[in-house]
């Protein structure tokens, strides 16, 4: 039998205009809508009973018609390097993961959030890509990840989050509406009031959606999961490239930069004897000269069912040096949280 909660609408799916109309329809003054909105987003309450400046009658009315579908902590793992991976259970039983990456020496505390349950893109090196995509997350479910991981950061490190990266489970640009709504709520003074420049959306490369992001005048940064600088190699590891080849992607990124001026970065996992040669670096250099770009070279984290190996440190260093000497801004990122399967490409609800 279907539960009563399952047929109630999540009140956080209502727009402020919707909420105002509902409150006035209940015979309440219009300012109640603002109070409810503040409880839901700024204070992130998990029940109507906590809305203590509303009358009990109004709280009961809301309870009868609506639900707050919050996410709940299912499992937390702590890495030796300070990284914390959280598995969250959604209202329908699905599981997702978020990762807190602390870098206290740089005063940087980043949360990596998921945007989908699973993923449909089947990138060969990614554990999430081996999962079925069940559904997109709602904006509130993305928002809740930030709220709960921020509480972790405050409790564990005495410092709030400084950055948000949409680099967890799923492809953010295929969950476009909830992704954008979550960013609007996170950056709103009525929400978490975080600066858009502290947020980065990562994509495997969907050209038409990159252009849509530009047209929507977003102020967030954009990261392309590149991982290969020629189409043959990229097709091999990222099937999405067959419909969004590098020429098309570069045009969409040029458009994004022209329209927004926002920062663009390339994420480039270095695989041994696949994309770590100086020839690969030369191909990559061409892609770094179209518009200002930052390059993050990432150490590969092995996953079950994939044959790739991480490139050696000296190959990565030679690769990075070649590009730096030619004016590319390069950061080599060593893995964080790989002992708890929390590193790049490892999120798969294990354990």
**What are the residue numbers of the active site?**
97, 344
Q: In what order do the strands lie in the sheet with 108-112?
A: 72-78, 84-89, 95-103, 108-112, 163-166, 199-203, 221-225, 264-270, 294-299, 329-333
């Amino acid at each position: 039998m279907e539960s009563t909660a399952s047929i109630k609408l999540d009140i956080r799916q209502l727009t402020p205009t919707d909420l105002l109309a509902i409150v006035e329809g209940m015979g309440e003054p219009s300012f109640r809508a603002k109070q409810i909105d503040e409880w839901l987003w700024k204070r992130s309450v998990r029940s109507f009973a906590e809305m203590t400046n509303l009358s009990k009658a109004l709280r009961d009315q809301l309870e009868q018609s609506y639900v707050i579908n919050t996410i709940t902590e299912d499992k937390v793992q702590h890495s030796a390097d300070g990284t914390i991976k959280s598995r969250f259970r959604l209202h329908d039983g699905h599981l997702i993961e978020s990762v807190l990456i602390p870098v206290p020496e740089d005063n940087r505390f980043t949360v990596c959030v998921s945007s989908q349950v699973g993923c449909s893109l089947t990138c060969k090196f990614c554990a999430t890509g081996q999962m079925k995509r069940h559904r997109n997350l709602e904006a509130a479910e993305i928002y809740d990840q930030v709220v709960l991981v921020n509480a972790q950061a405050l409790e564990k490190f005495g410092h709030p989050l400084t950055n948000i990266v949409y680099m967890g489970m799923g492809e953010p640009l295929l969950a476009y509406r909830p992704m954008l709504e979550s960013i609007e709520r996170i950056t709103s003074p009525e929400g978490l009031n975080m600066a858009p420049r502290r947020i980065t959306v990562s994509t495997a490369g969907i050209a038409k959606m990159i252009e849509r992001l530009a047209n929507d005048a977003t102020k967030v940064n954009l990261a392309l999961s590149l991982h290969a600088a020629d189409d043959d190699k990229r097709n091999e590891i990222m099937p999405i490239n067959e419909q969004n080849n590098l020429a098309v992607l570069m045009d969409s990124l040029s458009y994004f930069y022209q329209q927004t001026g926002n920062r663009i970065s390339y994420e480039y996992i270095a695989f041994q004897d696949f994309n770590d040669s100086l020839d690969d670096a030369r191909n990559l250099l061409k892609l770094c000269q179209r518009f200002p770009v930052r390059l993050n070279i990432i150490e590969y984290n092995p996953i079950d069912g994939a044959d790739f190996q991480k490139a050696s440190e000296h190959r990565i260093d030679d690769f990075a040096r070649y590009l730096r000497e030619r004016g590319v801004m390069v950061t080599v990122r060593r893995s964080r949280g790989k002992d708890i399967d929390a590193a790049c490409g490892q999120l798969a609800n294990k354990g």
